[in-house]
Amino acid sequence: MTVKSPWEPPAVVSFDEVLKVNDEVTAKADAPIDISEDIFRIHELAMDWDIGVVRYAPRDKSRIPTGPDGKKVGIFLLHGGVSDFKSVQRIAKLLPEKFGIPVATMTFPGRFYFLDPNRDWPGDVENTDGSARTPLWTKETKITKDQYTTVHDTSKREDYGTLVSLSAKEGTEFYHRMAAWPVAFEQAVIESARRQFPAGEYSIYIHGHSTGGPFAMMASQRVPNIAGLLGWGSSPFGWMYPIVSGDDWSFPFNQLRLRTWRDSARYMYEGMKNQDIGLPMLIELTFERWESAKKRPNFKAEDFIHKNSTQALEAAARAAANRLKLSHQDTAALVQRYLGFTRELSGPGVKPVPNFLSIHGINDDTVTLKRCERSLPLFANLNPAPKVRAISLGAGVHSWGWSDDQLPQGIVPPVAKLWHDAIINGFFL
């Protein structure tokens, strides 16, 4: 039997409507919630990986809503390419407080700072002795500066400033980790979803912000009870990126890109370019923001999946296979597995890509509404094709953390309301 959804999202939500929805949500009473951590270890490609998940749940479990499919509703959040779970903390708390929906936030492998109870990264991303911040793939992992060289790339300076990367030396722990982490990421999402939202009890609605988008897409077919894709400034499948952006990234898999004060400047400018603010003030605000921002991971290994660098994906798979001394047949299978991380799964018996609700802030210059619109025919060509709807929100930049005087919690309340209404009213059926 085919069920027709009675609910369709608005194509545009004006600023006045955003304010109205914001007031409606914030007026709802805050119910008590419990926040807890789930830290566990997985073993993939002959390496250990420590994974950090933070769960936000209503204290009164009877408040957890049941969706139209008869299952409890759970939301799984993946952050973007700069940060960790703290970048989505605001919406992770609001959803159980206002709507009773439990939330699990998984930090990308290597980015959860296990060594500090506040989960804040110490120091700066770049150090005066030539060392730099590197991933913490397990509590014990330590990447030393003799394992990499520093690369300065000005090829995209007009948009990004100078790109600073750490190039892992072949044969080092750093090199092998950079080759193997995609499999760890895949399995971390699967295991996190299983632990937090068991199949048969929950339907999961997954969100990946920005860089997290392609990984949410990847997970949507690999986790059996993911029922829908929730967007806010979310990139689509990796293979779609060069098509919708017109940009081509082909960095080697062993280059870890550092996110420096230059990224703070880029995002700061996004929200202020139309305001009457002079350059000196903008510079001051950038470095004020960086003092707080540098507590987040601020490194990125995920470009070659996010942006579909197939050459780097194959090279990473072959490097992992070489370390494991795999046969030619098993190496070829691992290469295909890696290449599959940027694409939808297809064929008989494969779970279809779920429906996707994509929301974009009006001042988002990073993952724009136009990019989303260019992806619509690409999604339409999938077999079977998911239902994809785009919403232009009359407020907001790329970051979840944006706010102003009229919207002290930014776009979090209206986005949460749109997500809730889409789930409860059957958009994802």
pLDDT at 385 over 80: yes
CA dihedral (396, 402, 408, 410) positive or negative: positive
Angstrom distance (rounded) from CA 117 to CA 163: 31
Assess contact for 9 and 389: CB atoms under 8 A: yes
Assess contact for 171 and 194: CB atoms under 8 A: no
pLDDT at 377 over 70: yes
pLDDT tens digits, one per residue of 285-331:
778 887 888 899 999 999 999 999 999 999 999 999 999 999 999 99
pLDDT at 38 over 80: yes
Calculate the alpha carbon distances from 365 to 119, 180, 322, 393, 396 in Å: 29, 32, 41, 13, 10
Confidence (pLDDT) at 272: 67
pLDDT at 2 over 60: no
Cβ neighbours around 277 below 10 Å, total: 13
pLDDT at 130 over 90: no
H, E, C per residue of 74-107: EEEEECCCCCCHHHHHHHHHHHHHHHCCCEEEEC
Radius of gyration over every alpha carbon of the chain, rounded to an integer in angstroms: 21
Confidence (pLDDT) at 270: 63
SS3 state at 51:
strand
Angstrom distance (rounded) from CA 267 to CA 405: 19
How far is the first Cα of the chain from the last one, in angstroms, to the nearest whole number?
A: 12
SS3 state at 288:
helix
Cβ neighbours around 244 below 10 Å, total: 19
Confidence (pLDDT) at 106: 98
**Could you give phi then psi for residue 315, rounded to 5 degrees?**
-60, -40
User: Region 401-405: what's the mean pLDDT?
Assistant: 91
Confidence (pLDDT) at 388: 97
Calculate the alpha carbon distances from 418 to 70, 178, 371, 386 in Å: 20, 37, 21, 19
User: Region 126-149: what's the mean pLDDT?
Assistant: 94
Confidence (pLDDT) at 69: 97
Angstrom distance (rounded) from CA 172 to CA 357: 42
Assess contact for 47 and 180: CB atoms under 8 A: yes
Angle (CA) 81-313-178 rounded to 5° is: 60
Confidence (pLDDT) at 280: 78
* DSSP string computed for 405-419: SS-TTTTHHHHHHHH
User: Region 243-259: what's the mean pLDDT?
Assistant: 89
Q: Count helices and strands (H / E) in the chain.
A: 13, 13
Q: Please give the helix or strand (H or E) that residue 308 lies within, else none.
A: none
User: Region 43-62: what's the mean pLDDT?
Assistant: 98
User: Region 322-345: what's the mean pLDDT?
Assistant: 98
Confidence (pLDDT) at 1: 39
| Pick from 57-66, 241-250, 276-285, 367-376: least confident | 276-285
pLDDT tens digits, one per residue of 90-111:
999 999 999 999 999 999 999 9
Superfamily, domain 12-424: Alpha/Beta hydrolase fold, catalytic domain (3.40.50.1820)
| pLDDT level of residue 51 (50, 70, 90 thresholds) | very high
User: Region 152-171: what's the mean pLDDT?
Assistant: 86
pLDDT at 259 over 80: yes
* DSSP string computed for 121-186: PPS-SB-TTS-B----SSTT----GGGEEEEEE-TTHHHH-SEEEEEEPTTSHHHHHHHHHHHHHH
User: Region 239-247: what's the mean pLDDT?
Assistant: 92
**Could you give phi then psi for residue 60, rounded to 5 degrees?**
-90, 100
Q: Residue 76 pairs with which residues in a beta bridge?
A: 104, 206
pLDDT at 159 over 80: no
What's the predicted TM-score (pTM) here?
A: 0.93
Across 63-98, b (16+ Cβ under 10 Å) vs e yields bbeebbeebbbbbbbbbbbbbbbbbbbbbbbbbbbb
Percent of the chain exceeding pLDDT 70 equals 97
| pLDDT level of residue 179 (50, 70, 90 thresholds) | very high
Average pLDDT, the chain: 93
User: Region 200-207: what's the mean pLDDT?
Assistant: 98
pLDDT at 275 over 90: no
User: Region 387-408: what's the mean pLDDT?
Assistant: 95
